[in-house]
Amino acid sequence: MEKVTMADVAKAAGVSKSTVSQYLNNRFEYMGEKTKQKIEEAIEALGYQPNYIARSLKQKRTSMVGIIVANIMHYFSTEVSRAIEDYCNHHDLHAIVCNADDDPEKEKKYIDMLRAKQVDGLIIFPTGQNNQLYENMIRQGYPVVFVDRKVQNLSVFSIVTDNRESTNRAIQQFVAKGHRRIAFAVQPLKVSTRTERFEGYQQAMKDAGLEINPDYVIESDIPGMKSKLEELFSLEERPTAIFAGNDRVFLEVVRCLRDKGLKIGQDIELVVFDNIPFAQVVETPVTFIIQPASEMGTKAAELLFEQINKVDREPEEFVFPSKLV
Amino acid sequence: MEKVTMADVAKAAGVSKSTVSQYLNNRFEYMGEKTKQKIEEAIEALGYQPNYIARSLKQKRTSMVGIIVANIMHYFSTEVSRAIEDYCNHHDLHAIVCNADDDPEKEKKYIDMLRAKQVDGLIIFPTGQNNQLYENMIRQGYPVVFVDRKVQNLSVFSIVTDNRESTNRAIQQFVAKGHRRIAFAVQPLKVSTRTERFEGYQQAMKDAGLEINPDYVIESDIPGMKSKLEELFSLEERPTAIFAGNDRVFLEVVRCLRDKGLKIGQDIELVVFDNIPFAQVVETPVTFIIQPASEMGTKAAELLFEQINKVDREPEEFVFPSKLV
DNA sequence: TTGTAAGCGTTATCAG
DNA sequence: CTGATAACGCTTACAA
């Protein structure tokens, strides 16, 4: 199987390899009509399929870009990825996505692997724990765009949301509705998105003249969140409103509320940072902070494309606004 | 950037390319301890990274496999893909997934593209409209596994669910609960999954001695489904139960019911073929027909892996049972 | 307008 | 134990 090469086609058509190559690359300018036809027939007859690997080796470009998402379980990641893929499709690139699973080791493994595979550039949702590695890439001038999370002290293109401000607004809204006991649940504060959201919460509470009750702040990974939430909702003075740091936290919160028999919108109000596709359909009275995922993805792809094509410009940070729904 | 090659390492270490190659491929058997160290240092110093493209060209294998899903919007597809990816990860393969978007043209494009990229094998959720193409691949002995949908007259490994039987059981359950007006909503009956589910419905109705009311059978693509559903629920004699052909149909049904102010489980009962992750969390009284997606994915990957490694055996069809939840 | 030949960065074969 | 040397399948000057 899979053995017919350009040389075979050339032989069959009675021309040379280079001529076939010309043909394949649509350099018809100087090609005789009959040669063209002979080649066409030969290709058809032999069922020839070009070998991109060989071509890539020569051209030093693979027309592939890598996307490394921190965790594919977030709907936001898949939305952004989809937008990137769309952009790539329209620009003769192929995007291949890898899931770092919030694990810096895996992230490193994928970065190395993709670079070994010679992908032309990388869009990364960084775990934030591989600064040395990031730095090397940047220094070497390798095309990279960071998405979602900021990394300190790195001169690189990045695409983020106004995490602090939008969280702030959401909490303000709670306050305006008369809530005083406002809880905040989030995964470990190890990346910029989470710390910024937390800062937004703190700021809003402070501005409202409200003390933050430490019992109302849950910082835990997903597996451990359930038990902490249970404690929270078992408190004498239960919170009347809660902010869920992202979609996965949200799921835990909803599960826990259901188990406790608490009704969302009635016993407790809920804001979640991120879009939850299905939730919009059922009548759950939840406020969503929605990031413009596809615009962000498109922008990221654009910036990467520019870098791949050697457009030189100073790295910038693009902050997209998110909106409450 | 990215220019240091094996030759550079060889020069720096004062050895030949072949020796470096040995080193990289862990052929230490006959290698001197000092050469080993020199190479190690040289690699470190130069920041050398091997070029997989060149290696692939030589070895005629890329350690990549392609997954072409009919439509990535189905949760089932992503579950299966994830299982395949897991398997691949454990077997030094990289899976790259493409979305045919239910479009045979795109499917063909992706098959051609992936083969041009020399992926070692393909797992396909076939659109079913490219039989000629499928046949060619099989005939050439190219490693392929089909998932989810059957394709007629093709000697190929395939992984499917017992669509007919499980739909049948679901409808029987409706009947047992006393339902008589049972509707069936599905996308165009162009692929085996849908026709089989429909047959399951027909059979169950027949066995129960119930006439099928043509008004109760909705066959439409997703964009057109909304209006047809509206008609259905506006009928004088509304159905009391409805079967949704898959998750996307389900979403349309739920939307429509909400708009009509009908309560699921109260005004109408609902079965859906497929898993809906979020729906399980909220208290929606829906029955799900759940396919063992990850087992199916793993099996598919296994079969592909065997073929890639030239294990010769007769193609088989594997039918997995799904269960009502 | 088409052919020749030299790479691209590896691996594989076979001497030394 | 290590090193030449020839592929792998394609592109691209340059020559004809």
B312-322 pLDDT per residue, tens:
889 999 999 99
Interface of B with A in 61-100 (CB under 8 A): 62, 85, 94, 96-97, 99
Rounded average pLDDT over B178-183: 94
* Interface check B136 vs A, CB under 8 A: yes
Residue B207 three-state SS: helix
CB contact under 8 A, B118 and A47: no
For residue A135, give Cα distances in angstroms to A116, A310, B6, B296: 17, 19, 23, 41
Burial code of A258-279, b = ≥16 C-beta within 10 A, e = fewer?
eebeeebeeebbbbbbbbbebb
- Residue B251 has phi, psi (to 5 degrees) of -60, -40
- Closest CA-bearing residue to C1' of D7: B58
- What is the side-by-side strand order in the sheet with A182-186? A217-219, A182-186, A241-244, A269-273, A287-290, A323-324
Q: Which nucleotide is nearest to A39 (CA to C1')?
A: C2
Residue A32 three-state SS: coil
Query: Given a cut of 70, is residue A282 above it in pLDDT?
Result: no
Query: Given a cut of 60, is residue A181 above it in pLDDT?
Result: yes
Query: Given a cut of 70, is residue B21 above it in pLDDT?
Result: yes
The total number of residues written for chain B in this structure? 325
Q: Which pLDDT does position A188 carry in this prediction? A: 95
Strand D bases within 7 angstroms of protein beta carbons: 1-13
pLDDT band at B73 (very low <50, low <70, confident <90, very high): confident
CB contact under 8 A, B53 and A53: yes
Chain B nearest-CA residue for A51: B116
Of A6-15, A198-207, B280-289, the poorest mean pLDDT is in B280-289
| Residues A188 and A194 sit within 8 Å (Cβ to Cβ) | yes
DSSP run (H or E) holding A122: strand A121-124
For residue A297, give Cα distances in angstroms to A187, B151, B287: 24, 36, 36
Query: Given a cut of 60, is residue A1 above it in pLDDT?
Result: no
| Residues A82 and A301 sit within 8 Å (Cβ to Cβ) | no
CB contact under 8 A, A281 and B94: no
Chain B nearest-CA distance from A4, in A, is 12
Question: How far, in Å, CA of A249 to CA of A269, rounded?
Answer: 15
For residue A293, give Cα distances in angstroms to A76, A80, A100, A165, A198: 6, 5, 19, 17, 21
Question: How far, in Å, CA of B189 to CA of B202, rounded?
Answer: 14
CB contact under 8 A, B281 and A254: yes
Burial code of B122-143, b = ≥16 C-beta within 10 A, e = fewer?
bbbbbbbbbeeebeebbeeebb
Q: Which of B291, B293, B297, B295 is nearest to B88 (CA)?
A: B297
Rounded average pLDDT over B295-319: 94
Strand C–CB A32 distance below 7 A: yes
Sign of the torsion angle spanned by Cα atoms B81, B86, B87, B88? positive
Token pair 């038990």: residue: A227
In sequence order, which residues have a C-beta less than 8 Å from that of residue A58 and are 6 or more positions away?
none
Instruction: Give chain A's mean pLDDT.
Output: 92
Strand D–CB A324 distance below 7 A: no
| Residue type, position A66, single letter | G
For chain B, residues classed under CATH 1.10.260.40 are 6-50
Query: Given a cut of 90, is residue A54 above it in pLDDT?
Result: yes
| Residues B65 and B122 sit within 8 Å (Cβ to Cβ) | yes
pLDDT band at B29 (very low <50, low <70, confident <90, very high): low
Cα A104–chain centre separation:
16
Domain B62-155+293-324 -> CATH class: alpha beta
Looking at per-residue confidence, does A276 or A239 come out higher?
A239
Token pair 């799900």: residue: B288
Token pair 């379980």: residue: A73
* Interface check B278 vs A, CB under 8 A: yes
Provide the whole-model pTM. 0.90
Rounded average pLDDT over A153-179: 95
B91-144, pLDDT tens digit by residue? 999 999 999 999 999 999 999 999 999 999 999 999 999 999 999 999 999 999
Among A5-19, A112-126, A264-278, the range with the most confident prediction by mean pLDDT is A112-126
A276 contacts on B by Cβ (under 8 Å): 278
Query: Given a cut of 70, is residue A283 above it in pLDDT?
Result: no
- Residue B9 CB-half CA count within 13 A: 29
Looking at per-residue confidence, does A34 or A280 come out higher?
A34
Question: How far, in Å, CA of B224 to CA of B231, rounded?
Answer: 12
Looking at per-residue confidence, does B258 or A306 come out higher?
A306
**pLDDT-above-90 percentage for chain B:** 76
Rounded average pLDDT over B56-75: 94
Chain A nearest-CA distance from B145, in A, is 17
Q: Which of A291, A26, A14, A325 is nearest to A149 (CA)?
A: A291
Chain B nearest-CA residue for A120: B2
Q: CA A160, C1' C11: Å apart?
A: 44
Which residues of chain B form beta strands (DSSP E)?
64-69, 94-99, 121-124, 144-147, 157-161, 182-186, 217-219, 241-244, 269-273, 286-290, 317-320, 323-324
For chain B, residues classed under CATH 3.40.50.2300 are 62-155+293-324, 163-290
CB contact under 8 A, B57 and A54: yes
Chain B nearest-CA residue for A97: B96
Q: CA A116, C1' C12: Å apart?
A: 21
Query: Given a cut of 60, is residue A132 above it in pLDDT?
Result: yes
Question: How far, in Å, CA of B74 to CA of B315, rounded?
Answer: 27
Question: How far, in Å, CA of B187 to CA of A186, rounded?
Answer: 40
Rounded average pLDDT over B254-259: 89
| Residues A50 and B117 sit within 8 Å (Cβ to Cβ) | no
Of A96, A117, A276, the CB nearest to B53: A117
* Interface check B50 vs A, CB under 8 A: yes
Q: Which nucleotide is nearest to B31 (CA to C1')?
A: D1
Query: Given a cut of 60, is residue B25 above it in pLDDT?
Result: yes
DSSP run (H or E) holding B181: none
A281 contacts on B by Cβ (under 8 Å): 251, 254-255, 258
Chain B nearest-CA distance from A296, in A, is 20
Query: Given a cut of 90, is residue B28 above it in pLDDT?
Result: no
Strand C–CB B32 distance below 7 A: no
| Residues A221 and A255 sit within 8 Å (Cβ to Cβ) | no
Rounded average pLDDT over A147-169: 95
Strand D–CB A35 distance below 7 A: no
Query: Which DSSP category does A210 fall into?
Result: P
Q: CA A112, C1' C3: Å apart?
A: 41
Q: Which pLDDT does position B1 carry in this prediction? A: 57
Looking at per-residue confidence, does A34 or B6 come out higher?
B6
Cα A174–chain centre separation:
29
In sequence order, which residues have a C-beta less than 8 Å from that of residue B13 and are 6 or more positions away?
B19, B20, B35, B38, B39, B41, B42
DSSP run (H or E) holding A244: strand A241-244
Strand C–CB B36 distance below 7 A: no
Instruction: Give chain B's mean pLDDT.
Output: 92
Query: Given a cut of 90, is residue A3 above it in pLDDT?
Result: no
Superfamily of segment(s) B163-290: Response regulator (3.40.50.2300)
Q: Which pLDDT does position B283 carry in this prediction? A: 65
Q: Which pLDDT does position B61 carry in this prediction? A: 93
- Which of 1.10.1040.10, 3.70.10.10, 3.40.50.300, 1.10.260.40 would CATH assign to domain B6-50? 1.10.260.40
A96 contacts on B by Cβ (under 8 Å): 94, 96
Q: Which pLDDT does position B158 carry in this prediction? A: 97
Query: Given a cut of 90, is residue B81 above it in pLDDT?
Result: yes
pLDDT band at B281 (very low <50, low <70, confident <90, very high): low
* Interface check A254 vs B, CB under 8 A: yes
